[in-house]
Amino acid sequence: MIRVGNQSAFSAVPLTLPFEFALAQGFDAFEWFPDKRADGAGWVAADLSATQRQTIRRQARDAGLSLSVHAPVTVDVLNSRTHRDLEDSLRLAVDLGASLLNIHFADPRRVEEFARELHPWIERCGISGLKLAIENLPTTGPKDFNHLFALLPRAGVGMCFDMGHANLYLGTHNDYIGYLDYLQNEVPILHLHLHENHGDRDSHLPLFTGPSAKDPSGLVALIQRLARRGFDGNAILEQWPQPPELLVQARNQLLELLRGNLE
């Protein structure tokens, strides 16, 4: 089962606008991404008050909207100075009634150390009723994830497969399906980040506005492989385009592919 949704954005004012859009458009999922840039754009977890968190939790529950939280891009379990931001993200996820917390895996040279530092966070997420998803960046390859998950427990943690980042990884450049095929079955995929690029930069193009506009076979292959893996999670459209109705088009076209290739 794939639940399709969108994500909060640096440029959205107020910061709740993408969530309100998800509710209005009947999306199945939404991801809160508390992250703030040096120029002041964006937001931090503290910007959502206790009252707002309660309201969001109720609205999502009533709409059947599955929530996740993406920790700030600066969060690194190998850097204790960022642990406070990770703590804040975990608390935000709990307060919102989210089911998953997502963090990046950035340094493939320190896989074993990264795995050791992850263990207490996996336990804390489990106690809080959350799953922990580890996202691939353009610098981390499938072999790194195979190694990582050989060192992690079998429950409570999995991978967030980011198709755009997989497309940029040099070992599978312009071939995110090749990246996916290198992942061992023992690497559980819990979460998806869906965006496109032309292999040049992390441009976060909406689905069906990049390479798949002319040839959607890559997305078809992605759907089929995820189905064989028994994927059951959220697929997050990681952009806030103008107009935002491009997200609705992407969702609708993706659902058409799902219906046409999973029946």
The reply to whether omega before 188 is within 30° of 0 (cis) is no
> Shortest CA distance to 69 belongs to which of 140, 125, 118?
125
pLDDT (tens digit per residue) in 69-117: 999 999 999 999 999 999 999 999 999 999 999 999 989 999 999 999 9
Dig out the tokens for 4 from the structure: 């399709």
**Whether the Cβ atoms of residue 251 and residue 237 lie closer than 8 Å to each other:** yes
Q: In the predicted model, what is the mean pLDDT of residues 138-157? A: 97
Q: In the predicted model, what is the mean pLDDT of residues 206-221? A: 96
Residue 152: left (phi > 0), alpha (psi -120 to 50), or beta? beta
Say yes or no to pLDDT of 262 above 90. Answer: no
Domain 2-262 fold is: TIM Barrel (3.20.20)
Bridge partners, residue 250, by sequence: none
Percentage above 70 pLDDT, the chain = 99
Strands (E), 100-142: 100-105, 131-136
Task: Name the amino acid, one letter, at 60.
Answer: A
> Shortest CA distance to 135 belongs to which of 112, 109, 164, 102?
102
Q: What is the predicted pLDDT for the residue at 260?
A: 83
Q: What is the predicted pLDDT for the residue at 263?
A: 58
**Whether the Cβ atoms of residue 144 and residue 110 lie closer than 8 Å to each other:** no
Indicate the domain borders of the chain. 2-262
In the structure, what pLDDT confidence band is assigned to residue 58 with cuts at 50, 70 and 90? very high
Which run of H or of E encompasses 145? Answer: helix 142-150
In the structure, what pLDDT confidence band is assigned to residue 261 with cuts at 50, 70 and 90? confident
